[in-house]
């Protein structure tokens, strides 16, 4: 005799389940859905599922912890975030340090410039030390496996910045009029630069996901990504403090560049730096974690 078809979990319960990490859902999702069909999914159940999703992300159970996948995901996230932050850093340098803004009586801004320069240099070094060996390994892997599409994604890291530089140099050579290199040109180059940085970092990130390389190069890259993320976040923080200081104490800065632009920059930097730091931290933790039995 066919009994009544059990009602599936309600939309809120399904939504709460979606809050869990993919590995957790893959392992326990079906079981929890079966349980909810029998036990019901009232507000208390939905709330408990939603609340318990937080520790599942922050401190995932070790048997669900795929160290290699975690490290690769962190490297990819930090790479994209790092590219965006270094791009934002280049804009910051152009609009502040290279314009010669000084704030007499407020040495904080000058200190922030110094910290910004040093931290950015450290992050570039870390990105190079961690990224180049992994990139070379992936190129080798893609060539061995004849993965042309992945090879194309990887070469975007070289071809796109080279193309951007070629376009920028050509434009500057063709346009001789110094007056023409005003704020519109700068805005154009900046937008194009962010697009180029996004493509150049997304290429290797996609290849990393598809090729799924392993070995020491991934661990080194994940550790370096953590360092690069921390350094670039420090640079972002220093630039944010400097920009805030300039808005408050150097009226010519805010008047010239509009305070709204500066505060928008701060928000973007904080959001991306937080993403990079959290992801980089998780990658470092995976690098040094003792494998589950």
Partner 1 sequence: VANRLDRWADPPLLVLASLADEPKHGYAILRDVRETMGVRLTAGTLYAVIARLEAVGLIEPLASNDRRRPYQITAAGRAALAEQSARMRRVASLAQARLGERYGWAGA
Site residues (CB under 8 A) for partner 1?
16, 24, 27-28, 30-36, 38-39, 41, 44-45, 47-53, 55-56, 61-64, 292-293
Q: Which of 231, 198, 202, 241 is nearest to 87 (CA)?
A: 198
Q: 112 near 235, Cβ under 8 Å?
A: no
Q: Which of 273, 285, 281, 157 is nearest to 227 (CA)?
A: 281
Query: Distance (Å, rounded) from C-alpha 85 to C-alpha 96?
Result: 16
Cβ closest to partner 1, residue 4 vs residue 104:
4
Query: At closest approach, how far in Å is the CB of 24 from partner 1?
Result: 7
Cβ closest to partner 1, residue 23 vs residue 151:
23
Residue with tokens 């991306």: 272
Cβ closest to partner 1, residue 6 vs residue 100:
6
Query: At closest approach, how far in Å is the CB of 183 from partner 1?
Result: 53
* CA Rg value for the chain: 24
Cβ closest to partner 1, residue 37 vs residue 117:
37
Query: At closest approach, how far in Å is the CB of 32 from partner 1?
Result: 6
Query: At closest approach, how far in Å is the CB of 293 from partner 1?
Result: 7
Q: Which of 161, 235, 146, 141 is nearest to 202 (CA)?
A: 161
Cβ closest to partner 1, residue 49 vs residue 79:
49
Cβ closest to partner 1, residue 34 vs residue 114:
34
Query: At closest approach, how far in Å is the CB of 75 from partner 1?
Result: 25
Q: Which of 235, 24, 41 is nearest to 123 (CA)?
A: 235
Query: At closest approach, how far in Å is the CB of 18 from partner 1?
Result: 14
Angle at Cα 96 formed by Cα 243 and Cα 172, nearest 5°?
140
DSSP string, 139-188: HHHHHHTT-HHHHHHHHHHHHHHHHHHHHHHHHHHH---GGGSSHHHHHH
Query: At closest approach, how far in Å is the CB of 14 from partner 1?
Result: 13
Cβ closest to partner 1, residue 25 vs residue 106:
25
Which residues have CB under 8 Å from 214's CB, separation 6+? 68
């Amino acid at each position: 005799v066919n009994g009544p078809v059990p009602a599936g979990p309600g939309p809120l319960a399904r939504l709460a389940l979606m809050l869990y990490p993919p590995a957790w859902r893959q392992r326990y999702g079906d079981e929890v859905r079966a349980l909810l069909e029998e036990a019901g999914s009232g507000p208390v159940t939905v709330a408990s599922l939603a609340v318990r999703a937080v520790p599942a992300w922050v401190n995932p159970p070790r048997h669900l912890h795929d160290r290699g996948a975690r490290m690769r995901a962190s490297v990819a996230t930090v790479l994209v975030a790092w590219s965006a932050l270094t791009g934002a850093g280049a804009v910051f340098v152009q609009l502040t340090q290279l314009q010669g803004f000084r704030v007499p009586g407020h040495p904080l801004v000058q200190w922030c410039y110094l910290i910004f320069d040093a931290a950015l240099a450290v992050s570039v070094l870390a990105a190079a030390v961690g990224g180049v060996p992994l990139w070379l390994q992936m190129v080798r892997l893609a060539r061995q496996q004849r993965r042309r599409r992945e090879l194309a994604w990887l070469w975007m890291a070289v071809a796109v910045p080279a193309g951007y530089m070629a376009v920028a140099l050509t434009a500057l050579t063709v346009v001789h009029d110094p007056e023409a290199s005003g704020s519109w040109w700068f805005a154009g180059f900046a937008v194009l630069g962010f697009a180029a940085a996004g493509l150049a970092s997304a290429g290797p990130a996609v290849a990393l996901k598809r090729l799924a390389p392993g070995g020491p190069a991934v661990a080194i890259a994940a550790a370096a990504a953590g360092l690069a993320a921390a350094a670039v976040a420090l640079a972002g923080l220093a630039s944010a403090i400097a920009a805030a200081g300039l808005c408050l104490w150097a009226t010519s800065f805010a008047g010239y560049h509009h305070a709204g632009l500066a505060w928008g920059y701060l928000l973007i930097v904080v959001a991306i730096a937080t993403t990079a730091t959290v992801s980089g931290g998780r990658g470092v933790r995976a690098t040094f974690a003792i494998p589950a039995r």
